A and B are shown apart, each in its own frame.
Chain A
């Protein structure tokens, strides 16, 4: 059994909860298992948001927030630099041999942080996911797609087609409401992109590019999560 207990930390407006749902739905599309627990907090732009996903090829029994993750994804550098997080330091509870993916333009980890992560034998990836989103999709709102792309590119838990199915379900399906705020944000994005289909395509291009980056950088999963 391979189990990923994932904590995603970002700020309001980045689609942290949305991408947690897409991650779960992609697992489901692949015939695997996922459960998720959103933690909205104050639900506003730039305020801390956390979401927790458990993903496995076996049924998952446990519930509740992931206190001891083996994967941590940081969608916004301010989670670390400004402490915009419910869990401080950002790696609190991280298990040995885990993966940390941070969206940042520059190296934002202190020597102390690096020492802790090294002692835990953590695979640390820092990449400008927002830059990638802007370059490919023309909007920083696709940052979450880049982060998802990195995660699935590294873990190879599901295929590109399964992710596409989940993203399609999210943007073209009409049954999903993460929250009222997210729904209104969607309509703002839709106006920007004119057409939902185009939105879907741009998102998928970001994920595809993220897959390519993982290959090019050689970020394969060397260490099995505990």
Chain B
């Protein structure tokens, strides 16, 4: 392990020199953890996450982390993450699909307990019949938890978002957890080029006193509201405590937006802003959308891409602005329910322009050709189909 020197957050995220490596998404997440001055990681293995936490375990063995262990299962993992974080250390864990759902009661309590943890979510089918493939319906379960949710398109995003997540989660005016999600296998087990900061530089350590709430002080919130729960008070005290506390959690979630602008170049990316037809997508579907936009442009069609990087906070104003003159918005997704489609429709006044799909589920591949079909339909182009399926 090289001697790592602490550098300023802004320097590491925005200015430090970068070197290009050809690595998997799992490696990219671990490489970000390596540079994030993480104190402790707690793991419980599940495919396709296992590779990430295995690599983080290697980091512990090399001396990058102070502590690492395998918990009893995900409920234990997520609860222990809360405990460790409240004790004042910087923590990381990752999970997938069913593991996320097993841990979700504890995860959903993190924002309210003001736990600045970073959670990797490497997507996997959650519903029966059992599968290990990268359906991303599990992200819908996180949308209402108060957690900040970033969705990575590729290995580069995984690195950038994970490293930035540690910085964003500990900002005093944010101080809630950040989940960095990406599709299992398609990103975690596939290699891509990643521009990385030097191995011998790391973020400053967590300063537990630079916080809106005190660390492990049982006499004041948030610890006080666990020890001495509002449920034991009158109904009116219970309403009030919960209401003001959750208002502050969601306001914190919104305040993360300025850091998403600062460190990740904003919550959305727009390709060809003057297009008539847009593919609107997040995560791995954005990569498929990017390819479709390239094919469409080669055919002389005026098609653009709106990639949504931040799902929570959701960039309502930015999406509304990007789609204000669009004739159609095609939303490809890796889940049956279409959670992104619902988010976009709720955000824009002209929701009739939205095409619900194409969607694939069960974790199957999302062929660019399916997106092209919707583009042709939106533009009123008749395609003769010769392909035998």
Contact = CB atoms under 8 A, between A and B. Distances in A.
Interface of A: 1, 28, 35, 37, 60-65, 67-68, 89, 91-96, 116, 119-120
A64 B298 CA distance: 22
Interface string B189-205: 01110000000000000
B367 interface: yes
A35 B288 contact: no
B389 A92 contact: yes
Given A67-B369, A96-B386, 11 more contacts: A60-B291, A61-B294, A62-B288, A63-B186, A63-B284, A63-B365, A64-B364, A64-B367, A65-B365, A93-B387, A116-B388
Contacts of B290: 61-62
Contacts of B364: 64-65
A192 to B, nearest CB: 31
Contacts of B132: none
A125 B357 CA distance: 38
A64 B365 contact: yes
B145 to A, nearest CB: 28
A62 B388 contact: no
Nearest to B290: A61
A67 to B, nearest CB: 4
A81 B101 CA distance: 45
Contacts of B154: 61
A17 B145 CA distance: 42
A119 B386 contact: yes
Q: How large is the interface on B (under 10, 10 to 19, 20 to 34, 35 or more residues)?
A: 20 to 34
Given A1-B298, A68-B367, A68-B369, A63 B187 contact: yes
Interface of B: 22, 154, 183, 186-187, 190-192, 284, 287-288, 290-291, 294, 298, 364-369, 386-389
Contacts of A37: 190
Contacts of A116: 388
Nearest to A60: B291
B43 to A, nearest CB: 23
Shortest 3 CB-CB contacts between residues of A and residues of B: A64-B365, A62-B291, A63-B186
A93 B291 contact: no
Nearest to A116: B388
Contacts of B298: 1
A63 B386 contact: no
A65 B362 CA distance: 14
A149 B366 CA distance: 31
A64 B387 contact: no
A33 to B, nearest CB: 9
A95 B284 CA distance: 24
A100 B183 CA distance: 32
Contact of A89 (B186, B284, B388): B388
A63 B288 contact: yes
B381 to A, nearest CB: 16
Nearest to A54: B291
26 contacts: A1-B298, A28-B22, A35-B190, A35-B192, A37-B190, A61-B154, A61-B287, A61-B291, A63-B183, A63-B284, A63-B288, A63-B365, A64-B367, A65-B364, A65-B365, A67-B367, A67-B369, A89-B388, A92-B388, A93-B388, A93-B389, A94-B387, A94-B388, A95-B387, A116-B388, A120-B387
Contacts of A61: 154, 287-288, 290-291, 294
Contacts of B288: 61-64
Contacts of B365: 63-65, 67
Given A92-B388, A93-B389, A64 B369 contact: no
Contacts of B388: 89, 91-94, 116, 120
Contacts of B366: 64
A50 to B, nearest CB: 12
Nearest to B293: A61
Given A35-B190, A89-B388, A95-B387, A63 B287 contact: yes
Nearest to B190: A63
Nearest to A58: B294
A66 to B, nearest CB: 8
Contacts of A35: 190-192
A60 B291 CA distance: 8
Nearest to B368: A62
B184 to A, nearest CB: 11
A109 to B, nearest CB: 14
Contacts of A89: 388
A121 B40 CA distance: 59
Contacts of A91: 388
B361 to A, nearest CB: 13
Contacts of B291: 60-62
A63 B286 CA distance: 10
A80 B365 CA distance: 24
Contacts of B183: 63
A61 B293 CA distance: 11
A113 to B, nearest CB: 10
Contacts of B294: 1, 61
Contact of B387 (A28, A60, A65, A68): A68
A157 to B, nearest CB: 19
B290 to A, nearest CB: 4
Nearest to A28: B22
A32 B11 CA distance: 32
